[in-house]
Structure 1
Amino acid sequence: MRRPITTVVTALVAAAATSVALALPAGAINSYNASPAPERTEVGAFVALWDNTGDGVPDRFDWVCTGIMVDDDTYLTAAHCTDDWPAGTRFFVSLEQDFQSLIDAHATQPAAVQAALFLANGWVVEGDTHQDPAYPGNSADSHDIGVIDFADRAVTPQDVWDFTPANLPTAGQLDQLGGRALDAADWWAVGYGTEEAARGPGGHTHPGGGVRMKAVEDFNALNKTWVRLAMNQSRGLGGACYGDSGGPNFVQLGGRLVLAATTITGDAPCYATNVAYRVDTPGARAFLAPYVALP
């Protein structure tokens, strides 16, 4: 889940990750202090079918980011996941826990055949992408928020999978709680991203990804549009990495799990910090209002 790269396609090919708009891209849940998240059925993989070689023929079908269902037909993700794709790219969501195993099992099939097979078997649902028109914004507000919408599609995720949409925060809820309350609360990230950097003969790589995982984080800081979350291994924490972009960062408030922010960026090796885009701000809520009933 973290840091945006430069383009979704570049990030994808480079590390099965995401793109960049802030500092770097977002990745997967770290391997340390992490565990599977089968219970988080509202969290899904962002999947695309696109032309990776520039010859006009779709030749890549793969997961690229993370996101979360916020109602029956709206999947919230990051704008840098929906941005700058080749013409003709098709977009899908999968709420399968282990999407990577499905990809691996059918890797010999041409990309378009894979996509048709996954649709026929109910492993993905096709939708329409939309992003904040102000993206990429600036350092104060990147406007890095987007959705895959299924309102105009015959099949929605609710028709295929059983899930309860995430609880969105009320307007300005994180500001109203303040730093002390947020620091005392339980936080964790969920996503399909890769693992933290691993050293090898060719340099750093980010293995893994494509499986829904979760990891406990710790509150660090809150500003106008961002939540900064710690994920240091030495403190028993984990967190996001490449491919986790757009995925949820939950906070436990009053016994209720609230979607506070979505992963956007962090430190390049995925060791220390997750920087997440708040969804309780005026800008985020203005973008989401046409797609979902806001609390």
Structure 2
Amino acid sequence: MPISFRQLAATVSAASLAAAALLAPALPAHAIVGGAPDAGEHPYVGQLLFYVPDAVDPRFEDPGAWFKCTGTLIDEDTVVTAGHCTYAVGVEGEAPADPLHGGTDVWFSVLPAPDYSILKPSSTYVPDRNAQRYTDWSKALDASSTWHEAEATFTHPEYVDAAFLLHDLGVVELSEPIVLQGDGTGPAYGTLPQEGYLDRYYTKSAKRTALFESVGYGLEDSGPKFSLGGDTRRKADRRLVSFKGAYGLPNIAVMFSHAGRGTTGGTCFGDSGGPTFDITTPQIAEQNIIVAVTSFGLNSNCNAGGSYRIDQPDDLEFLMDPSDPYTP
């Protein structure tokens, strides 16, 4: 059964949990399984650090857990990510009235390697100072010039956490703009696809020539009892494998390669919500078109997983005005 990288992290060992529930950095900083350093190619892709008050961190007596995802700026203050990265996010440390929207306990950094040195190690708070950890960390993040706090979060209105892959799309609206300058060859931020954009690759010949690039801050490798790297922006070239990413359901989740001809890697824990861009030609690559966001893994080894395509009518309608479904 497909599960989100966040959900999977809660079921495997403490070492793998480090990929999502934040621990003190102790390993070399790498990301995307295989792949290569991003080298400044996607400055509009950043890392999300967020707090879920009702989630369980097994090291603590009280609930409350921190997680990491990846997201993409599509303008100065709007971040597109996965729905399971915005669902049930806290409001000043408390559970939101509606888990689908309103959370503010999210911080976003576009540094190639975000600054975690400002946070005291979780080990110093175990086992009964979880509330103090939230207080200290949120204060440090708010004071940071490189971490940008959310003004509000919005999850696809049809999202259901128990069946997350059906509508795994979320938006974070930042409280302050992040102004980026383009290189003159394309837009300065990520861009949304046209409706049904990926349909052009349905035929075997079109799919065979298509090339995509996933970007994220996730682990470089993972297994049932280990994890390696993370917290550095990396990229991987990938091929489109299938339009039936989970349970044979078409046009929802899509599968991209983790290895094989013309590819350089795949996705892992922490890459959730990260973009996959169409780079089939140089002209297309310049447009920064997000065709999907990283959604789920099929095991703890990060050698198989799927992405949620965002070119469907309901997704684009939501992305055009994320607050509309929740406005009285």
**Do these two structures clear the TM 0.5 threshold for a shared fold by scoring above it?**
yes
Distance across 1 between alignment mates of 2:6 and 2:253: 20
Equivalent residue runs for 1:152-191 within 5 Å:
153=175, 155-158=176-179, 162=181, 164-179=188-203, 180-191=205-216
Residue by residue, what CA displacement relative to the aligned partner does 1:29-80 show, whole Å, maximum 9, x if unpaired?
Answer: 11x2433342211101111246554658x7x6x6511111112221011111
Percent identity between matched residues is 26
Given that 2:48 and 2:71 are in contact with CA atoms closer than 8 Å, whether structure 1 keeps it comes out as: yes
1:98 Cα offset (Å): 0.2
Q: TM-score, normalised by structure 1?
A: 0.77
Equivalent residue runs for 1:37-76 within 5 Å:
37-49=39-51, 53=60, 55=62, 64-76=68-80
Residue by residue, what CA displacement relative to the aligned partner does 1:197-249 show, whole Å, maximum 9, x if unpaired?
Answer: 25xxxx52222111111111111012312221011268753010011100001
Q: Name the amino acid aligned to 1:281.
A: Q
What secondary structure sits across from 1:112 in the alignment? Answer: helix
5+ residue gaps in structure 2?
A: 22-30, 94-104, 125-132, 183-187, 244-249, 324-328
Distance across 1 between alignment mates of 2:43 and 2:292: 18
1:93 pairs with 2:103: no
Counterpart of 1:209? Answer: 230
Count of residue pairs brought into register by the alignment: 268
Distance across 2 between alignment mates of 1:139 and 1:175: 24
Given that 1:191 and 1:212 are in contact with CA atoms closer than 8 Å, whether structure 2 keeps it comes out as: yes
Residue by residue, what CA displacement relative to the aligned partner does 1:173-207 show, whole Å, maximum 9, x if unpaired?
Answer: 11134343243122111001112225xxxx52222
Counterpart of 1:228? Answer: 255
Given that 1:240 and 1:270 are in contact with CA atoms closer than 8 Å, whether structure 2 keeps it comes out as: no
Given that 2:107 and 2:141 are in contact with CA atoms closer than 8 Å, whether structure 1 keeps it comes out as: no
Given that 2:165 and 2:296 are in contact with CA atoms closer than 8 Å, whether structure 1 keeps it comes out as: no
Distance across 2 between alignment mates of 1:6 and 1:63: 7
Mean alpha-carbon deviation: is it higher for 219-228 or for 9-18? 9-18
Counterpart of 2:296? Answer: 265
1:276 pairs with 2:307: yes
Residue by residue, what CA displacement relative to the aligned partner does 1:237-269 show, whole Å, maximum 9, x if unpaired?
Answer: 301001110000111255123211000013324
5+ residue gaps in structure 1?
A: 19-27
Counterpart of 1:115? Answer: 138
Residue by residue, what CA displacement relative to the aligned partner does 1:80-123 show, whole Å, maximum 9, x if unpaired?
Answer: 11123456441111111101xx2146435955344333433321
Distance across 2 between alignment mates of 1:4 and 1:208: 19
CA radius of gyration, larger in? 2
What secondary structure sits across from 2:206 in the alignment? Answer: helix
Q: Which has the higher contact order (CA 8 A, sep 6+)?
A: 1
* More strand by percentage: 1
